[in-house]
Amino acid sequence: MNDTPRRFDDAITHPVLRDPDIQAILAQPYGRFSEREFARRRQALGDVQQRHDCDLILVCGEDRAGTGVHWLTGWPTSAEAMVVFARGERDVLFVEHHNHVPNARAMACDADVRWARREGAGAAVEELARRGARRVGVIGLLSWRKARQLAAAFELVDLAADYRWLRMRKSDEEVQWMRIGAAFSDLGLAALLRDGRVGMTERELGALVESAYHPLGGATVIHFIGVNAMDAPATCVPPQHHSSRRLAHRDMLFVEFTGTFWDSPGQVLRTISVGDEPTTLFRELHDVAEAAFDAMTGLLRAGVSARELVEASHVIERAGFAIYDDVVHGFGGGYWPPVLGVHNRDPSRAPDMTLEANMTIVVQPNVITRDERAGVQLGELVRITETGFERMHHAPWGFLRMA
């Protein structure tokens, strides 16, 4: 385990962003993985195709969602997109909006980019039929219209579980990119601590967070900001949308930030007192969160089971508190197993899986009072190693404070 994360002021001093290799990645016109990395992914997907005896695989994105298209081609789905993949052949990428085709051609790695003609899966069906496909594997999101078009012409095979494992097992290059996402998340927290002020709305605080990494090519997955009056608490978990509530003296913030570089995120969770020391209740909640974080991360290594992590997290119940959010989840290219939360607090109900080296997970004990009126957040993204774990973040630790 690394030492406690170092404090920093801005992007210039962040140790990850000072790295020449990281600077070279950020300086690209569009962030793109190496040809070697794309070849690794194509080989892995080809193995899935062969294992399931599929003639081809269709990778789909809908309404700007679904990570598979970007993972395979380098094109983040801007509206709707579908990729026809077959081992040993060039990908065909169908893009829904005609005016998005030029940008897709600039960003996609060695793909034949075509307009989808706003016909649902019609263009993809034609291409699959032209190649004589009968059994087609499917990864990603499909609208009902597209699913019906495809099911009428082919036998469809759901490859979601295979894709999940492809994304859970990170390459070294993918981990390097996730260090950028972690650094961007750190910068968002630093901006909040440095520039947040009493009287700002939650919306203004969120704008501060985003402004720290957007100029560097970062984007926001989430920036949850929960605000509670320490003397009259009324909520136990940060909301997903910012309100017009203004920050006041003796408030506390509990935050969860995921800044990302394309599809490579970090995630940092912290608790912050405003203008005064934490009250006894919030200090106790935070102490238990630290104990739970230490208990779970103390077990982390390749081979540890989800059940062991659940058992370690029970330090929270033994202290008289509870949880609301998940305490552990896989992350990076999706929200992956093991997802350990309120529905598997009995270790026997935890997923039957063990962690592997280069998996990336978030350990995030959200310790709350049993009446659900107060809570804290603490945690961050880590990488599993053969003998322990790597801290991906450099954000300050502990119960933080802002003016």
The CATH number of residue 361's host domain is 3.90.230.10
Same domain (yes/no): 176, 164: no
Last-in-domain residue among 168, 199, 225: 168
Rounded to two decimals, the pTM is 0.94
Measured distance CA(188)–CA(81) in Å, rounded: 31
Residue 390: closest CA among 366, 365, 358: 358
Give yes or no for residue 1 having a pLDDT over 90.
no
Same domain (yes/no): 79, 160: yes
The pLDDT confidence band at residue 9, using thresholds 50, 70 and 90, is low
Measured distance CA(31)–CA(262) in Å, rounded: 7
Give the per-residue pLDDT at 142: 92
Same domain (yes/no): 43, 161: yes
The pLDDT confidence band at residue 5, using thresholds 50, 70 and 90, is very low
- Count of residues in the chain: 403
Mean pLDDT of the chain: 95
The residue type found at 25 is I
Same domain (yes/no): 101, 242: no
- Per DSSP, 392 falls in state -
Give yes or no for residue 190 having a pLDDT over 60.
yes
Question: pLDDT tens digit string along 115-150?
Answer: 999 999 999 999 999 999 999 999 999 999 999 999
CATH of the domain at 81: 3.40.350.10
Same domain (yes/no): 210, 330: yes
Give the per-residue pLDDT at 4: 41
**Number of domains composing the chain:** 2
Give the per-residue pLDDT at 145: 96
Q: Is residue 77 part of a domain?
A: yes
For residue 283, give both structure tokens.
Answer: 């200090």
Token pair 């704008």 in the structure block, residue: 207
Give yes or no for residue 218 having a pLDDT over 60.
yes
Same domain (yes/no): 160, 278: no
Question: pLDDT tens digit string along 283-325?
Answer: 999 999 999 999 999 999 999 999 999 999 999 999 999 999 9
Give the per-residue pLDDT at 343: 86
The pLDDT confidence band at residue 8, using thresholds 50, 70 and 90, is very low
Angle between helices 35-51 and 160-168 (to 10 degrees): 150
The pLDDT confidence band at residue 345, using thresholds 50, 70 and 90, is confident
Measured distance CA(54)–CA(236) in Å, rounded: 47
Give yes or no for residue 272 having a pLDDT over 80.
yes
Over its C-alpha atoms, the chain yields an Rg (Å, rounded) of: 22
Same domain (yes/no): 235, 335: yes
Cα 45 to Cα 136, 265, 297: the distances in Å are 13, 22, 32
Give the per-residue pLDDT at 374: 98
- Per DSSP, 399 falls in state S
Give yes or no for residue 106 having a pLDDT over 70.
yes
Same domain (yes/no): 140, 98: yes
Same domain (yes/no): 99, 201: no
Same domain (yes/no): 139, 176: no
Q: Is residue 103 part of a domain?
A: yes
* 3-class secondary structure, 242: coil
Range of the domain at 154: 35-168
Kindly give, in sequence order, each residue whose CB lies less than 8 Å from that of residue 334, ignoring residues fewer than 6 positions away: 67, 164, 167
Measured distance CA(56)–CA(60) in Å, rounded: 13
Strands 251-261 and 264-265: antiparallel
**112 strand-pairing partners:** 92
Give yes or no for residue 378 having a pLDDT over 60.
yes
Q: Is residue 8 part of a domain?
A: no
The pLDDT confidence band at residue 10, using thresholds 50, 70 and 90, is low
Same domain (yes/no): 135, 119: yes
Same domain (yes/no): 211, 117: no
Last-in-domain residue among 168, 196, 219: 168
Give yes or no for residue 11 having a pLDDT over 70.
no
